[in-house]
Amino acid sequence: MVRAVLVLVLVAGVTRAEAAPTSTKSKVTKKSAKTTKTTKAKVSKKSPKLDDKTGKKLAKSKRHKKGKTVARIPWKPSRNTLSRNDNMPHGFSWPPTRAMLAAEVECESKLDRANVVWERVEREGRIVNAILVPSMTFGGVKYSNMWGSKGPHKVDCQLALALETIGPELFALGVREVKFGSIYRWSHVRSHGQTRPILSRHGLGIAMDIGSFIDESGRSAVVKKDYTSGDELLLGIEQVINANGNFRIVLTPKNDPISHHDHFHIEAKADYTSPDVP
């Protein structure tokens, strides 16, 4: 009887001893999970970024800014820049004067006499008289965007007329198509690697950047790679434009090898001074 009691006591002790580790293990596991979770939360919490100069906490918008943002609306110079007449055609002011508007009416009449089909569109930037020429063909020469943009390509009447006037001369040189990069563009003047605080004539719709010319054989004379090697077609075009009275001097890799190393920049020589209109 005594032996039976002792056996029962021993069995009960072993059972309790085996059950104890299981309970301990469960508590340790829960504690470990809680510790891991807390540690993970503390690690994931980043310290606020500080301004290098002031040492103050940066605003959220600055902390998350990944790079320079390009605005959907074209960047505009300051009001002071817009009020200045540096680099503007003779007689130009804003808003347009009666003399300027009269000059545009005369320009339209000349386009009509040259049988150029055009249509008036909404003015943009500092374009005095914004028009579209659906065919983008002037004097027998086709103009198309070098990046494939179908337009519409808004220009001032003065540029359209200048292109129409010089068209036969370019055609005689063998030019059949002109590939341009931009016409109207709201920006500052950039020359010799420097941006000058004055409005570019692109903002007036009277300037055009040209990347290449295609001749009657289909050959493409690219300004960036062919001008410096003395391409005869490009040199001939440069000479013709400079000799034509409807353009200012053409900017090329020759007179501006930094800012115009890969294109010709041409501008219509608009003159809004008129002795007939006060």
pLDDT in tens, 79-114: 444 445 567 999 999 999 999 999 999 999 999 999
Contact 240, 249 (CB under 8 A): no
Coil, strand or helix at 175: strand
Nearest to 204 by CA among 69, 113, 96: 96
Residue 87 is predicted with a pLDDT of 76
Nearest to 159 by CA among 44, 276, 86, 267: 267
Neighbours of 132 (CB within 10 A): 17
Residue 57 is predicted with a pLDDT of 53
Give CA torsion, residues 14, 15, 21, 24, to 10 deg: -130
Beta strands in the chain (DSSP E): 119-120, 130-132, 137-138, 141-145, 155-156, 175-182, 188-191, 194-199, 207-215, 220-222, 264-267
Under the banding of pLDDT at 50, 70 and 90, the label for residue 273 is confident
The first and second tokens of residue 182, run together, are 């931009």
User: pLDDT, tens digit, for every residue of 176-232?
Assistant: 999 999 999 999 998 899 888 899 999 999 999 999 999 999 999 999 999 999 999
164: Cα separation from own chain's centroid? 28
Is the model more confident about 9 or about 200?
A: 200
Under the banding of pLDDT at 50, 70 and 90, the label for residue 26 is very low
Mean pLDDT of 157-169: 98
- Using the structure block, give the residue that is written with the tokens 């301990």: 24
Question: Could you tell me the pTM of the whole model?
Answer: 0.70
Residue 242 is predicted with a pLDDT of 96
Amino acid at 196: R
Residue 268 is predicted with a pLDDT of 97
Residue 151 is predicted with a pLDDT of 87
